[in-house]
Amino acid sequence: MPELVFFSGTMDCGKSTLALQIGHNRSARGLQGVIFTRDDRAGEGKLSSRLGLVTEAVEAGEGMDLYAYLVDQLSKGGKADYVIVDEAQFLAPEQIDQLARIVDDLELDVFAFGITTDFRTKLFPGSQRLIELADRIEQLQVEALCWCGARATHNARTVDGVMVVEGEQVVVGDVNRPAEEVGYEVLCRRHHRRHMTSAATRAGALSPDVLPVNHA
């Protein structure tokens, strides 16, 4: 039976790499897929991995009806055996409903990839709807690591190298950006709560044995 599968994890855990691998494996068997993405780091209409791999994709812009797009392509003689959606957290809840309809009405597997929570530890609306509707949720097994070596569970946003917890939910950026740019870093919960990024740790002299008192 076709499924809506949500592959989730923090930034830097290999989601886009797995999306590209799934597409490669199926295309090697003669299957054709449609790839949607939204706000990829490589630019519009691209699905890219931090390993340097990139492929063309359909930009799933705001207001786009993904189900109608598939129906239109099929009615024109196109072929689709499966659907891949990267950066699925950026989709609107109604677009996630459209993915579920692709599975149920067109009987196609849909593989959605995305991070679950934003830099404030709040659920993205698209991810929340995927959790509500997905037939299966897969936590990626490649663990991203906090600077301390612990498993990273949270995404931190930095501006001028300083962690911020306020601002728009969606601001496109990436890990390992220059300090003066909007960037992101994956942290364990402990250090996300303390706003302790790798840069802050290098700059400060706070002993790990001293508990901070200025953050909840």
Q: Look up 87 and say whether it is catalytic.
A: yes
Which residue in the list 44, 87, 107, 132 is annotated as catalytic?
87
What's the CA angle centered on 49, arms 48 and 51, to 5 degrees?
Answer: 135
Report the distance separating Cα 78 and Cα 112, nearest Å.
Answer: 21
CB atoms within 10 A of CB 99: 29
Task: Tell whether the torsion through CA atoms of 24, 88, 174 and 137 is positive or negative.
Answer: negative
CA 50 to chain centre: 13
Which residues are marked as active site? 87
